[in-house]
Amino acid sequence: MRGPFGVGYGICTFTPGEQNENRRFLDKYYKKLKAQINKQKESEDPYVCLARNAIEAYISHGLVIDVPDGLPDDCTAKRSGIFVSLKKNGQLRGCIGTISPTTSCIAEEIIQNAISASTRDPRFTPVLQEELDKLVYSVDVLGEPEDISSDSQLDVKKYGVIVTSGNKRGLLLPNLDGVDTVEEQISIARHKAGISKGQKIKLQRFEVVRHY
């Protein structure tokens, strides 16, 4: 209020009433989220289970697990580039991969890249033990890259892209949230590789098998 003595300000005090258990909305949200993650764990395929087990052993105990028995034949008999992605509360929490295989089999590649995704992605701090039960995983097994002559041969839902200029190379996986056009796909891959817009590039495409 305004008076001849100057400007005054009103003061009020809020006193909490009785606790209402029905209004614990954040607790309800986390309980629902945990139930969803537990349900997803039950349906995870062997590729994703392997990534989860590798990360949990490394974060909790500093151990690099051996390739376990009982995996699909492809996991132990074939080699491929692998990307492991982690999400927390629907947001990316880490993603590391290899374009070409660097180990003796897919299973070893998953273990290696899962640990890297959780501890060495430069965009994020390393995963903490208390985050482990909040993480959702996916594993992408990359097909052989194929040279293409123009971006008209790309499809953001079906193909990932590799952009190369000299010794710089950037990759973007297919079918990612928020990437809706080929132009966006190429631009992001360029940026990841540090390739400026005016530099000449070589394009390759590849398909993936995504495991959840």
pTM, two decimals, is: 0.83
Question: For 20-75, how does the pLDDT look when each residue is reduced to its tens digit (9 = 90+)?
Answer: 777 777 677 667 766 777 777 788 999 999 999 999 999 999 999 999 999 999 99
Please name the amino acid found at residue 81: G
Question: For 103-162, how does the pLDDT look when each residue is reduced to its tens digit (9 = 90+)?
Answer: 999 999 999 999 999 999 999 999 999 999 999 999 999 999 999 999 999 999 999 999
Question: What residues contact 146, with CB distance under 8 A and at least 6 apart?
Answer: 204, 205, 206
Among the listed residues 152, 68, 150, 56, the one whose alpha carbon sits nearest the alpha carbon of residue 105: 68
The SS3 assignment for 88 reads strand
Q: What is the pLDDT of residue 25?
A: 73
Q: Domains in the chain, please, with CATH? A: 29-142 (3.30.700.20), 145-207 (3.30.1490.150)
Q: In which region does residue 131 sit, left (phi positive, over 0), alpha (psi from -120 to 50) or beta (all else)? A: alpha
